[in-house]
Amino acid sequence: MADKSEVDLINRDPNNINDHLSCHFEDVLAEPESTHSIDCVWKLSFTCFNFWKNICYKIQTILCGICIAAEWGCEFAYISFVHIWCFTPFFKALDINCGCAKKMYGMCVRCCVEPCCEACGLLFSAFKK
């Protein structure tokens, strides 16, 4: 496993969880073969699209990224806390109690239902072809 103490500034999505967000100029704007704008318009559109997409993303991350990351860190800390201190002990207690109920149910079935099933089995075993 990679060392999590350092941030990888090259590969920022090593698990490819945001591949669906890949958006290039060609994915958004396209001119069919029969309809073309002037070349300089197409080139400037490409440049403007990429510039504004990148600069707006950077401004939003500067203004909000750290606070949002802090909030998600708190959220996942809370989720871990609840699972460790509430859910896991609750499920363990449920497992213990259900084990007791399972044992009691099995005893009741063996005492009440099993003799009836055996009697019916013996009754029908007397029938031959």
pLDDT, position 126: 76
User: What would the pLDDT profile of 45-56 be if each residue is shown by its tens digit?
Assistant: 999 999 999 999
Distance between CA 40 and CA 121 in Å, rounded?
90
Q: Which helix (H) or strand (E) holds 40?
A: helix 39-60
Domain residue ranges in the chain: 39-125
Q: What does the block give as tokens for 33?
A: 């073969």
User: What would the pLDDT profile of 62-107 be if each residue is shown by its tens digit?
Assistant: 999 999 999 999 999 999 999 999 999 999 999 999 998 999 999 9
For residue 55, give the amino acid letter.
I
Residue 2 has pLDDT above 60, yes or no: no
* Cα angle 89, 75, 95; round to 5: 15
Rounded alpha-carbon distances, angstroms, from residue 57 to 28, 45, 67, 70, 72: 17, 18, 15, 18, 19
pTM above 0.75, yes or no: no
Over residues 115-129, the mean pLDDT reads 83
Q: What percent of the chain has pLDDT over 90?
A: 74
